[in-house]
């Protein structure tokens, strides 16, 4: 990787107003004063929110199914790294280890975050990406959303 990575905390799922309506974002923070909002889809927002709150649906959601597949093949998530941003679109790498071999997979940050929570794996981000995209607590204009499964 081009520069160092740091661990971030998943602060939660929130709604922001955009020109097209309300959009869910996942907020990441490194110290509680700087936040990185990443716009995500509604289904990923529901999945991340459920995992953050320990909610277990009666039927497995997509990310629960992926975790089940990994467990059944004795694979595990090693790292999740948000490693690039282009024109406001964030990119991530999901590192999975199976049979002693580690594989890197290109993935959306929202999917990586949903899996990292379930796997109890730290989410990492390139420092330069956080430095470039982070906003202060005072600049946040968000509303927390509650999903009920």
Question: What beta strand segments (E) does 30-139 contain?
Answer: 34-39, 75-86, 89-98, 101-107, 123-126, 135-136
User: Of all residues in the chain, what percent carry a pLDDT higher than 90?
Assistant: 75
CA–CA dist 77, 118 (Å, integer): 10
pTM over 0.85: yes
Encoding tokens for residue 88? Answer: 């406001």
Any residues with CB less than 8 A from the CB of 118 and at least 6 apart, and which? 51, 63, 64, 67
Contact yes or no for 37/16 (Cβ under 8 A) = yes
Any residues with CB less than 8 A from the CB of 12 and at least 6 apart, and which? 26, 27, 49, 52, 144
The mean pLDDT of the chain is: 90
For residue range 82-131, what is the model confidence (pLDDT) as tens digits?
999 999 999 999 999 999 999 999 999 999 999 999 999 999 999 999 99
pLDDT band at 1 (very low <50, low <70, confident <90, very high): very low
Which of 40, 35, 48 lies closest to 140 in space, CA to CA?
35
> What pLDDT sits at residue 117?
97
> What pLDDT sits at residue 101?
96
The superfamily CATH assigns to domain 5-144 is Bifunctional nuclease domain (3.10.690.10)
Contact yes or no for 48/13 (Cβ under 8 A) = yes
């Amino acid at each position: 990787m081009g520069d160092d990575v740091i661990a971030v905390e998943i602060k939660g799922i929130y709604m922001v107003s955009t020109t097209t309506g309300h959009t869910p974002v996942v907020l990441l923070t490194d110290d509680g004063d700087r936040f990185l909002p990443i716009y995500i889809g509604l289904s990923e927002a529901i999945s991340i929110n459920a995992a953050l709150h320990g909610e277990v649906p009666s039927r497995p959601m997509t990310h629960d199914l992926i975790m089940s597949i990994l467990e059944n093949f004795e694979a595990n998530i090693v790292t999740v790294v948000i490693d690039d941003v282009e024109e406001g679109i964030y990119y991530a790498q999901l590192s999975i280890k199976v049979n002693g071999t580690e594989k890197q997979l290109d993935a959306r940050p929202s999917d990586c975050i949903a899996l990292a929570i379930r796997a109890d794996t730290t989410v990492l981000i390139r420092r330069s990406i956080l430095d470039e995209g982070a906003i202060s607590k005072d600049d946040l204009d968000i509303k927390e959303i509650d999903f009920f499964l």
